[in-house]
Amino acid sequence: MNHPRRLVERARMTVRLTLLCAAARTERAVRFADDPLDERALHRVRAVAGSLPQAATRCMAPSRRCTETARTLGWESVTSQPALRDLDMGSWYGRTLDEIAAGDASGLAGWLADPGAAPHGGESVTQLCDRVAAWLDALQPDVGRVLAVVEQAVARAAVVHALGAPHQAFWRVDVPPLSTVELTGRGGRWNLRMAELPSTPRPPW
């Protein structure tokens, strides 16, 4: 039978990590760029601010959209983590998917099929996944609860690592803006935890 003190100690040695995918502009075209958030995106951030868990450690990716998301959440103390930076898109930076497909269709197809490919001269999906995995596994067991504003690609890579999935699964993970990923880790192992809906009063019938 587990002693209560041991249970408390084990809980303290568990990393509880919430990844919040940064807000994004509401334009339809998907562009690989770090554009400032528009007012509609900022309104959505303010709407979710009260639903996030409290955390002793807050950090974010060094991008403009992550910085603006954290600032709009009201965070006054937050650490920028270079390891959480977005995927380096090299020569494709600033272009939309349609523009890339029109100018480099074979390169785009290869990039989507092979996680080790980087036809844009930037970073491959495999390199991103390895970088994010190293950051996750370097978190100290006594850090407690961590809340981080991250890029969509980083959230995907974190899920892939937590599940021990092949890097090919990267594109099968859908992480919309302002969605959260809950991870718990201890002893080098990670678990993916699905978020619960806020409790609501029971109906009178």
pLDDT at 117: 98
pLDDT for 14-49, tens place per residue? Answer: 899 999 999 998 876 678 999 999 999 999 999 999
Asked if pLDDT for residue 8 goes beyond 50, the answer is no
Mean of per-residue pLDDT scores for the chain: 89
pLDDT at 73: 96
What structural domains and CATH numbers belong to the chain? Answer: 20-193 (3.40.50.1240)
Q: Taking the CA atoms of the chain, what radius of gyration do you get in angstroms? A: 19
This prediction has a pTM of 0.88
pLDDT at 188: 77
pLDDT at 200: 45
| Side chain identity, residue 158 | A
Q: At what angle do helices 125-138 and 152-163 cross, to 10 degrees?
A: 70
Asked if pLDDT for residue 166 goes beyond 60, the answer is yes
Band the pLDDT of 172: cuts 50, 70, 90.
very high
pLDDT at 196: 65
Mean pLDDT on 45-73: 95
- Report the Cα–Cα distance between both ends of the chain, in Å, rounded: 41
User: Are residues 15 and 186 in contact, defined by beta-carbon separation less than 8 angstroms?
Assistant: yes
Per-residue 3-state assignment (H helix, E strand, C coil) for 33-78: CCCCCCHHHHHHHHHHHHHCCCCCEEEECCCHHHHHHHHHCCCCCC
Least confident of 21-30, 67-76, 135-144, 153-162: 21-30
User: Are residues 179 and 149 in contact, defined by beta-carbon separation less than 8 angstroms?
Assistant: no
Least confident of 21-35, 115-129, 184-198: 184-198
Calculate ∠ Cα 144-141-148, nearest 5°. 50
pLDDT at 127: 98
Mean pLDDT on 136-164: 95
